[in-house]
A and B are shown apart, each in its own frame.
Chain A
Amino acid sequence: MSDGILRNNMKVLRAKADLTQEQLAERVQVTRATINFVERGKWVPSALLALKIARVFGVPFEEAFYLE
């Protein structure tokens, strides 16, 4: 398996769901700054947080996060 960078489609999914970073943060119980960091790829979330985020958008994990 090759090393990769975890990317995400959070910004698109968030826009589709009409959610602000603050609202998403409240739903997954983290701070807004953490959502901002994850969205920009500056912070790799734990599996638990990534699954929670995918669940909020109602999409499979692979649709929210992918390896590049």
Chain B
Amino acid sequence: MNQIEKLSRMRRTILWTVFAGTGVAAVLLLFPIVVRSARYLWWPAGRNSLPIYYWAFAIWFLTLLVFVVLYLLYKRKLRRDPALRIAVDDERVRTDWLKAYRFAFLTTVMIAVLSKAAETVLAPALMRGSFPLPDKTWFLLTGAVLSLVGSFLRYNHETADE
């Protein structure tokens, strides 16, 4: 495997890490909203426990930390060889990123519209239990990251050598 392939694979690993971490965070954010009985879930249960979605933020923070470390390592390898940088970021990869940004933008707009609609319809019911819901921004951010990284990985999927 040459250096171009190694770095392409490293980029995919970084993106999969971000995708998986954000995915877990999204599940934890959505869980108490989708499953009504879990609305009062605190973990660990006890006097000083935290709402379950706080763990989503912790996982996200950890994902971000891992991402930053891996990304810096990736960038350092690329900086050494400009020709390698051009090869890894070739014209198809750039187009895949553009398509992914477009998809993520549309998804974010859709989430914003849907959450506004849900807020209008569901807010009184959700607030009645005085459950501290995470801010809408978190849902938008999660949706944006998941759709951007997920769609890029989808567009940029690898195929076997023929």
Residues on A with C-beta less than 8 A from B93 are: 31, 34
Q: A26-B87, A32-B161 are in contact. List 16 more A-B contacts (CB 8 A).
A: A22-B1, A22-B161, A25-B87, A29-B90, A30-B4, A30-B90, A31-B92, A32-B5, A33-B8, A34-B91, A34-B92, A34-B93, A36-B162, A39-B162, A45-B91, A49-B91
Interface of B is mostly: helix
Count of chain A residues with a beta carbon within 8 Å of a chain B beta carbon: 20
Residues on A with C-beta less than 8 A from B92 are: 30-31, 33-34, 37, 43
On whether A30 and B161 interact (CB within 8 A), knowing A22-B2, A22-B5, A25-B4, the answer reads no
Which range contains the number of B residues in contact with the other chain? 10 to 19
CB <8 Å contact, A11 and B156: no
**Can you list, as one digit per residue, whether each of B106-130 has a CB less than 8 Å from chain A (1) or not (0)?**
0000000000000000000000000
**Residue ID in chain B nearest A37 by CB atoms:** B92
Q: Which residue, A21, A31, A39, A40, has most C-beta atoms of chain B within 10 A?
A: A31
B86 contacts chain A at the CB level, 8 A cutoff: yes
